[in-house]
Structure 1
Amino acid sequence: MDSLSSLRQLIQTHPLIDNHAHNILSAAAASDYTKYPLEQIVSEAQGVALINATSTLPFHRAAEQLASLYQCPSSDWDQLKASRDQLVQRDYESLIRQCLEGTHVLLLDDLLTDQDVESFDWHDRFTASRTKRIVRIEALAACVLSATVRKGSVPSQTADISGFRALWESFSQDFSLQISDAIDDPAVVGFKSVICYRTGLDVQPTEDDDTEPLLRSFARTISAATVSTPRVEDKPLNDWLVRQTLNLLKSAKTTQPNKPLQLHTGLGDNDINLLRSNPAHLQSLIAQYPEVDFVLLHSSYPYTREAGYLACVYPNVYLDLGEVFPMVSRDAQESIIRESLEIVPTTRLLWSTDGHFFPETFWLANKQFRNVLEKIFVDYVRNGDFTIKQAKRAAIDVLFYNSNRLYDLKEQVKIDSSLSVANSLFSTSEVDLLQAFIQSNPDVKYIWMQFVDYTATIRLRMFPVLEFAKIARKQRRIGVCMALLWMMQDDSVAGGSSTGQFYMIPDLSSLRRNIAMSSRSATVMTWWKTEDGEPLEECPRTTLLSLTNKLQDEFGIKAACGFEIEVVFLKPTTDPSTGEEDWGATTTNHSWSQMTRETRTMLPLLEEIVETLASVDIHLEQFHAESSPGQFEFILPPESPVTAVDTLIKARQVITCVAEQHGLRATLHPRPYPFAAGTASHAHVSISPPTKEASFLAGVLHHYQSIVAFTLSGDTSYERVKSGIWSGSEWVTWGTQNREAPIRKISPGHWEIKSLDGLANMYLAMSAFLAAGYSGVKEDRPLTVKDCGYDAATLSDAERSTLGITTKLPTSLSQSLDALASNKPLQELLGLNLVKNYTMVKRAESEKLNAMDEKTRRKWLVERY
């Protein structure tokens, strides 16, 4: 399950929080290169010095990358600008959206300028969550100074210093009120000082007893403001602004969410005094205010090690890794990240772009940072400094969770199961997910930990939220008797032993509230672990994730799945002669994709199902009537395999519960009526890129008789697989858009599996399909079965032979289990113990069901599936 490719994928795709950025230029100013030179994307230089930026390594690297963004055939700067101008004129917002892809939320210092830029909340349209503000305290102070000057009561510079005292009292009070208001503003999540640019980072940590130097500093500043734009750049006053902000943040600590102070450190334009931009100057100030968190911005380059030392020894210091991407070369970027990791806890490293004006600054920074982080973390794993688990933990902390905690954002991100990592790697992030879920769903009091056994029975344990939180934090664990591996639907055991247990680990990426039932609860799927915390071989979810990763790791093949949920809605009936209760058809005037008078009576139910699913973030692609009486189909979107099955299980539960509220039973029984078409659970499987589709499909066809042991997992399943009823017919074959073939090819690398129904444990069914495809790719198996455009059962032996169709589908569960028993290669891919236990359970289940008469067996299955 742990793999370098999964680490790479995580780093490249995990949503990120940009903890420091600035506003984007409006469309009208976006191409005004005279006022906003595009070269500023990769350089802090200004004026004449900026001309030389085009001969730097960062520039050449950025130009090549921008060529791909603009789809420009050349990295020539003039051609790039021309291509960019076309994009801006055609659809500027589309360019911005592409540049901000993967950004969950922006924290904007929106006081860099108030000219030619969009407002901070305008940026909301491009991110998953609403933009937050970082308040620049010197800009706030300048606004207060301007208001004071406009009152016209500033003494002349030659006046006695005492004449400025009343103005100082007014200014200090107004500034403090502005800061306090910002602390109370929920849109504000932090503050920023650019004192590094103005007077340097050697900030005086405490107040002087003598207030005259501060008063003189204020007098000089406000006097200068009467003849020019206010700029706060006099050391005693600038130091006071920082201290006063820290004092107010300290006082608000017990009543307000955490709001750190960001400080520009290191790298800047020529307005900065490089020697005084060393964050080491801040040590006394940091020590003076242990209650306030400090964020040292811009990697403090070239003083990264000094900043790292502060972040190591002071628990209230965080190091931001921004701005150097894309401002310095690739080698320098790697060096900066490695220096940051020398002694800094990975829980105190933050990511930002320092994106400003041009949306490409965000795109280049994110792209280059992800690439460098991937290279360094992979190196550390290969050298044994990180385990993959530790590297993943650190990566998502830096990209998302450190900022989420520090700024008290309470953001929740939906993560693909294959990334959020099944092995319960991310205990802290999992807790974050739980906390965010509880905050969004305060009425949820109980969590159901679910698991699916080999009979596809969904079993669960229920916990009060506080107890479940202990499980998520790994403060306790939940054991399940090993007998589950041999358990049948009625709790009888097919064999095995009652000794030993495994442990359920929740995967909070699957956490969704329960709806359409009288319960204040939510469900979460689980992984099975051994006593030592290792993945249990017999865990169906683990098996599916492992095979998904094998395809990705060894062949670069990414698999995805999507499901069609077919259900038959039944209504309760009573036999008047015996009083026996049963289930009957809800509609009889019913046909495929048609709305009859009877079918229309089902619309309230159908639409309620769709809307209820959407409320838990399951959005159907379509729904319609199917062929059998009371039968309807709901089509889910494609997702990664484990996530897709998780979603399928939740969607089925929702459909069942909504139907129950209408007094109906939603059943997955493969053929509830012998006189009508059966009920499948067709799966769409795709591989990307599709370059290996022939060998993948060849492997599937070669092992298909064994695959069917998992996809048609009950004797009743085989009653549906007949020629002429669009169920995939009776021969192992495939065909482009052929619905009478077990495998319908839809497009390159995309197939529909038709030999599949609702009795299957879908984790195992998809595992078997991917395992067979994997074996075909690994063996480079040739595809000898040709594209069949007919129902193979209607062809002659000679016609089938010409197409390479030689094998019939099993006609019973016993036959498919026999095929599996003789298929050692597939058993080894799925796990010998898993196959052994699964086979034992299914044979015992078959014996139990075959001992029942047909009516009893039908009712027994309808009640359970």
Structure 2
Amino acid sequence: MPGTALTALAIPPLVDQHCHGIDRRELAAGDFAAYLTESDAPPATGTSFFDTQLGFAVRRWCPPLLGLEPHCTPGHYLERRRALGAAEAARRLLGATGIAEYLVDTGIPGDLTGPRELAAAGGGATWHEVVRLEPLAERAADTADGPGAFLDALATAVTDAARHAVGFKSVAAYRHGLDLPPDRPRPAQVRTAADQWLLTRAPGERLTDPVLLRHLLWSAADTALPLQVHTGFGDPDLTLHRSDPLLLTDFVRAVRPTGATVVLLHCYPYHRGAAYLASVFPHVYADMGLALTHTGARAHAVLAEMLELTPFGKLLFSTDAYGLPELYVVGAELFRRALSRLLGGWVAEGAWSAADAGRVAAMVAADNARRVYRLGRSDSRPYRPGTEPSG
């Protein structure tokens, strides 16, 4: 592929439509490496999480930002990171990502930066909050006196969150699986489920009841804010085959009359199924976050498969970065290079025009997210399905 085809593609500043805060601590080697995997266990004896596509990508793209040669050893990299300090390393790394706006899921506990602090470390980028649904229910349950009070508090929490957030997120894939009945649960069902959960729930216990998870999904849909849904791979807390986005087919069909927009996160290894859903339902969008990061040097192959069927106006960039500023660097770099390689190659072989390649690059990098979440608009509401420009 001619090098000019790659450099001619202009990719604008990115909108990271799904990400998390970074760890403020000075990380030991083991704590750092734990962020390079979805496993919740130490590496197998004699192995390292650095010996993965993600580990190699970190060693390729991050050392030069800290004054080191690409591919330096993990020990050398971590030594330099400690010498700079976590705050300075984050400033250098985030400032080099080219991310202009962050949509931050604030539902993960821990000593993580909030949206404002994350954006400031990134050089003064714009930030927005995405509210995770399940913690809203858990906090309401911690203080509620009976099912009626719980459901009232939960309704108030969703309404209040919708006033400042640009979207909601569900991790029902972790808590139960996506093989939930698709229809809106009846009020009597919801009250019975709430009563049972409150009677048996220990303080701080996570929500796993399928009726209440469905109630949360429908409550979010009623706000008209975009609803992000975790699909595909993640840590061992989920059962992978129950996170296939195709399991949501009946739900996205049922929820369409509400005007809700559903954003399928991550999707891998079911990204072709997610592409299908985005292609046949006007209110469904697909995201590539986490997938490109963990596939590293093969990111272009995964992106190519997503671009087979996903309408170009329905694909959204994200990093799903969590814990390490390095993951923002890798997610953004791999995305830009994969997109340039693919679109530049199609231009070089005459399949696409250069103008179309530039237009699609801008759509996927930023414009689609700005349209879906209505970023910068005073009402902060998404377009209703059917009003999007065709793509």
Q: Shorter-normalised TM-score: what interval?
A: 0.7 to 0.9
What SS class does the counterpart of residue 203 from structure 1 fall into? coil
Q: 2:160, 2:242 → 1: CA distance?
A: 31
Verify the 8 A CA contact 1:217 1:234 in the aligned structure 2: yes
1:92 CA drift (Å): 4.0
Q: 1:242, 1:289 → 2: CA distance?
A: 9
What residue number does 1:782 align with? none
Q: 1:33, 1:215 → 2: CA distance?
A: 48
* Alignment CA distance shift 1:182-1:137 (3 Å): same
Q: 1:92, 1:208 → 2: CA distance?
A: 48
What residue number does 2:284 align with? 317
What residue number does 1:229 align with? 204
TM-score, normalization: structure 2? Answer: 0.87
What residue number does 2:141 align with? 145
Verify the 8 A CA contact 1:7 1:391 in the aligned structure 2: no
Q: 2:293, 2:111 → 1: CA distance?
A: 23
Verify the 8 A CA contact 1:106 1:131 in the aligned structure 2: yes
Residues 774-853 of structure 1 aligned to structure 2 (within 5 Å): none
1:303 CA drift (Å): 0.2
| Matching of residue 343 in structure 1 with residue 309 in structure 2 | yes
* Alignment CA distance shift 1:315-1:89 (3 Å): closer
Q: Deviations over 1:685-736 (max 9, x none)?
A: xxxxxxxxxxxxxxxxxxxxxxxxxxxxxxxxxxxxxxxxxxxxxxxxxxxx
| Matching of residue 295 in structure 1 with residue 258 in structure 2 | no
What residue number does 2:386 align with? none
* Alignment CA distance shift 1:58-1:33 (3 Å): closer
What residue number does 1:8 align with? 7
| Matching of residue 88 in structure 1 with residue 85 in structure 2 | yes
2:213 corresponds to which of 238, 262, 271:
238
What SS class does the counterpart of residue 54 from structure 1 fall into? coil
1:138 CA drift (Å): 0.4
Verify the 8 A CA contact 1:294 1:316 in the aligned structure 2: yes
What residue number does 1:45 align with? 39
* Alignment CA distance shift 1:127-1:386 (3 Å): farther
Larger gyration radius, structure 1 or structure 2: 1
Q: 2:94, 2:240 → 1: CA distance?
A: 35
What SS class does the counterpart of residue 17 from structure 2 fall into? strand
What SS class does the counterpart of residue 130 from structure 2 fall into? strand
Verify the 8 A CA contact 2:34 2:42 in the aligned structure 1: no
Verify the 8 A CA contact 2:5 2:348 in the aligned structure 1: no
Q: Deviations over 1:273-294 (max 9, x none)?
A: 1111000011111111221111
Range with bigger deviation, 137-146 or 53-62: 53-62
Verify the 8 A CA contact 2:132 2:168 in the aligned structure 1: yes
What SS class does the counterpart of residue 107 from structure 2 fall into? coil
Q: Deviations over 1:200-254 (max 9, x none)?
A: 1123222455935x4454344334433x4230112222122112222x224xxxx
What residue number does 1:21 align with? 19
Verify the 8 A CA contact 1:309 1:343 in the aligned structure 2: yes
Q: 1:378, 1:222 → 2: CA distance?
A: 56
* Alignment CA distance shift 1:58-1:374 (3 Å): same
Verify the 8 A CA contact 2:91 2:123 in the aligned structure 1: no
Q: 2:232, 2:226 → 1: CA distance?
A: 19
Verify the 8 A CA contact 1:66 1:75 in the aligned structure 2: no
Q: Deviations over 1:139-165 (max 9, x none)?
A: 1111111122xxxx5xxxxxxxxxxxx
What residue number does 2:150 align with? 171
Residue type of the alignment partner of 1:65? W
1:46 CA drift (Å): 1.9
Q: Deviations over 1:628-656 (max 9, x none)?
A: xxxxxxxxxxxxxxxxxxxxxxxxxxxxx
Verify the 8 A CA contact 2:95 2:123 in the aligned structure 1: no
Q: 1:400, 1:223 → 2: CA distance?
A: 46
1:285 corresponds to which of 251, 259, 263:
251
Residues 131-530 of structure 1 aligned to structure 2 (within 5 Å): 131-148=127-144, 153=145, 167-185=146-164, 188-208=165-185, 211-212=188-189, 214-226=190-202, 228-246=203-221, 248-250=222-224, 259-290=225-256, 291-298=259-266, 300-331=267-298, 333-410=299-376
1:44 CA drift (Å): 1.0
1:98 corresponds to which of 95, 100, 108:
95
Higher RCO (C-alpha under 8 Å, 6+ residues apart): 2
Verify the 8 A CA contact 2:116 2:127 in the aligned structure 1: yes
Residue type of the alignment partner of 1:312? S
Tell me the C-alpha RMSD between the 2 structures: 2.4
Residues 615-764 of structure 1 aligned to structure 2 (within 5 Å): none
Verify the 8 A CA contact 1:103 1:128 in the aligned structure 2: no
* Alignment CA distance shift 1:97-1:266 (3 Å): closer
Q: 2:91, 2:290 → 1: CA distance?
A: 24
What residue number does 2:380 align with? none
What residue number does 1:79 align with? 76
Verify the 8 A CA contact 1:124 1:131 in the aligned structure 2: yes
Q: Deviations over 1:600-627 (max 9, x none)?
A: xxxxxxxxxxxxxxxxxxxxxxxxxxxx
What SS class does the counterpart of residue 260 from structure 2 fall into? coil
What residue number does 1:120 align with? 115
Verify the 8 A CA contact 1:146 1:230 in the aligned structure 2: no
* Alignment CA distance shift 1:326-1:90 (3 Å): closer
Displacement over 6 Å in runs of 4+: none
TM-score, normalization: structure 1? Answer: 0.41
What SS class does the counterpart of residue 48 from structure 1 fall into? coil
What residue number does 2:62 align with? 66
* Alignment CA distance shift 1:71-1:220 (3 Å): farther
1:55 CA drift (Å): 2.9
Q: 1:263, 1:90 → 2: CA distance?
A: 31
Structure with more of its chain in strand, by fraction: 1
Verify the 8 A CA contact 1:261 1:293 in the aligned structure 2: yes
Residue type of the alignment partner of 2:295? V
Q: 1:127, 1:105 → 2: CA distance?
A: 11
Q: 1:90, 1:312 → 2: CA distance?
A: 42
1:98 CA drift (Å): 2.8
Structure with more of its chain in helix, by fraction: 2
Q: 2:127, 2:334 → 1: CA distance?
A: 23
Residue type of the alignment partner of 2:84? L
1:56 CA drift (Å): 2.4
1:119 CA drift (Å): 2.3
What SS class does the counterpart of residue 263 from structure 2 fall into? strand
What SS class does the counterpart of residue 391 from structure 1 fall into? helix
What residue number does 2:385 align with? none
**Structure 2 unaligned runs (5+)?**
378-388
* Alignment CA distance shift 1:49-1:218 (3 Å): farther
Residue type of the alignment partner of 1:84? R
What residue number does 1:820 align with? none
Verify the 8 A CA contact 2:347 2:353 in the aligned structure 1: yes
1:33 CA drift (Å): 4.8
| Percent of residue pairs bearing the same amino acid type | 26
* Alignment CA distance shift 1:89-1:177 (3 Å): closer
Q: 1:92, 1:7 → 2: CA distance?
A: 29
1:356 CA drift (Å): 1.4
Q: 2:8, 2:184 → 1: CA distance?
A: 51
* Alignment CA distance shift 1:195-1:47 (3 Å): same
What SS class does the counterpart of residue 166 from structure 2 fall into? strand
Q: 2:340, 2:9 → 1: CA distance?
A: 9
Q: 1:398, 1:210 → 2: CA distance?
A: 39
1:383 CA drift (Å): 2.6
**Structure 1 unaligned runs (5+)?**
154-166, 251-258, 412-472, 474-865
* Alignment CA distance shift 1:393-1:168 (3 Å): same
What residue number does 1:498 align with? none
Verify the 8 A CA contact 1:280 1:310 in the aligned structure 2: yes
